[in-house]
């Protein structure tokens, strides 16, 4: 049976390191890391995520600010808010909660965030820095950064000689994850919906990362014995065994069967999920250090 990664515990250790770094920054420089979270409209799921981010930012000792715009806010109003946050020296990180209401175009908004305040790591400058191996000045998208914390804890910082397969090629996760693995010297394959014979690619992986959005797609016979399996997927499926109309969360990996083959595996929930907010906090404290001309802590 594989070792099961405790994402909550590892996220808590990242948050503890962020808290310590934030406190030291405040004591030495008199600067509190500032995180502004912007939400437009009243989508309940988005409000739940934003509330969790704001709560965690406060817990980290940050100056945590939430801006809520009405569902009818215009592109110009949202752009003006981002501009004012860009110009606010007390704000080191800006996060615009996605998805935006349908009448708003997210891309120009994301690209208008100053790259050094883009704590979601979605700006093309940050994507480019990651692609060129500049991890020293860029900010990395939070979920792949979190998955990489697991990989480093399992395999160390140097993945020389290891094959990594990332299933999924989104800008949010698959591509930055592949870049991070490549930067760490893994030999990386990126698979996607047009990949032929996906199971045989997966069987080649010492590190298999699934970020697809298809419940329990990765089966035991796709997993190389002894591999590390990182499951990023979050899928809600019916759970009639829990009562009528009930649901439960599963990943992209058939956990029970794959845990019998892998040497290390992440569960869903409680694996990669808790790392995303922790790495958002890490990016904010990193951005605050850089704004003072200081070398940021590593996470």
Site residues for ligand NDP per CB under 6 A: 143, 167-170, 172-174, 191-195, 198, 211-214, 232-235, 272-273, 276
Whether the CB-CB separation of 151 and 159 falls below 8 Å is answered with yes
| Residue 173: Cβ within 10 Å count | 23
Nearer to ligand NDP, 73 or 188 (CB): 188
Catalytic residue among 8, 29, 42, 53: 53
53 is catalytic: yes
Closest CA to 56 of 119, 126, 138: 119
Active-site hit among 120, 206, 231, 252: 120
d(CA 88, CA 117): 11
- Closest approach, Cβ 269 to ligand NDP, in A, equals 9
User: Which residue is nearest to ligand NDP, using beta carbons?
Assistant: 170
> Judged by CB, which is closer to ligand NDP: 49, or 289?
49
d(CA 2, CA 101): 42
149 CB-side CA count, 13 A:
28
Nearest residue to 173 via CA among 215, 213, 125, 141: 141
Nearer to ligand NDP, 150 or 173 (CB): 173
With beta carbons less than 8 A apart as the criterion, state whether 134 and 176 touch.
Answer: no
Catalytic residue among 8, 42, 66, 97: 97
Is position 292 annotated as part of the catalytic site?
A: no
State the nearest-atom distance from the C-beta of 200 to ligand NDP, in Å: 13
- For residue 59, the minimal CB distance to ligand NDP (Å) is 18
User: How far is the C-alpha of 159 from the C-alpha of 240, rounded, in Å?
Assistant: 42
Say whether 246 is catalytic.
Answer: no
Q: How far is the CB of 6 from ligand NDP (least distance, A)?
A: 15
Shortest Cβ 84–ligand NDP spacing (Å): 28
- Select 53 or 289, whichever has its Cβ closest to ligand NDP: 53
Nearer to ligand NDP, 78 or 172 (CB): 172
**Contact criterion met (CB below 8 Å) for 283 and 275:** no
CA 22 distance to own-chain centroid:
20
Residues with a catalytic annotation lie at 53, 97, 120
């Amino acid at each position: 049976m594989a070792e099961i990664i405790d994402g909550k515990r590892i996220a808590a250790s990242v948050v503890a390191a962020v808290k310590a770094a934030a406190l030291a920054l405040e004591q030495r420089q008199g600067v509190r890391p500032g995180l502004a979270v912007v939400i437009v409209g009243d989508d309940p799921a988005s409000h739940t995520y934003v509330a969790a981010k704001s709560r965690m930012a406060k817990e980290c000792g940050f100056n945590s600010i939430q801006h809520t715009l009405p569902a009818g806010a215009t592109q110009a109003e949202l752009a003006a808010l981002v501009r004012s946050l860009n110009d606010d020296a007390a704000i080191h990180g800006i996060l615009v909660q996605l998805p935006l209401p349908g009448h708003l175009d997210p891309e120009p908004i994301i690209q208008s965030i100053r790259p050094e305040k883009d704590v979601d790591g979605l700006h093309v400058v940050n994507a480019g820095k990651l692609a060129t191996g500049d991890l020293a000045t860029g900010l990395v998208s939070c979920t792949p950064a979190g998955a990489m914390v697991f990989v480093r804890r399992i395999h160390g910082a140097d993945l020389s000689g290891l094959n990594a397969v990332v299933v999924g090629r989104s800008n949010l996760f698959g591509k930055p994850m592949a870049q991070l693995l490549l930067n760490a010297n893994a030999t990386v394959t990126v698979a996607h919906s047009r990949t032929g014979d996906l199971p045989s690619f997966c069987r080649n992986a010492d590190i298999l990362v699934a970020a697809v959005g298809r419940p329990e797609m990765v089966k035991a016979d796709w997993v190389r014995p002894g591999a590390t399996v990182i499951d990023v997927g979050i899928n809600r499926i019916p759970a009639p065994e829990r009562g009528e109309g009930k649901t439960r969360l599963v990943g992209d990996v058939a956990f029970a069967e794959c845990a019998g083959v892998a040497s290390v595996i992440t569960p869903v929930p409680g694996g990669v999920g808790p790392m995303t907010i922790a790495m958002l906090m890490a990016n904010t404290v990193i951005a605050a250090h850089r704004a003072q001309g200081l070398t940021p802590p590593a996470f």
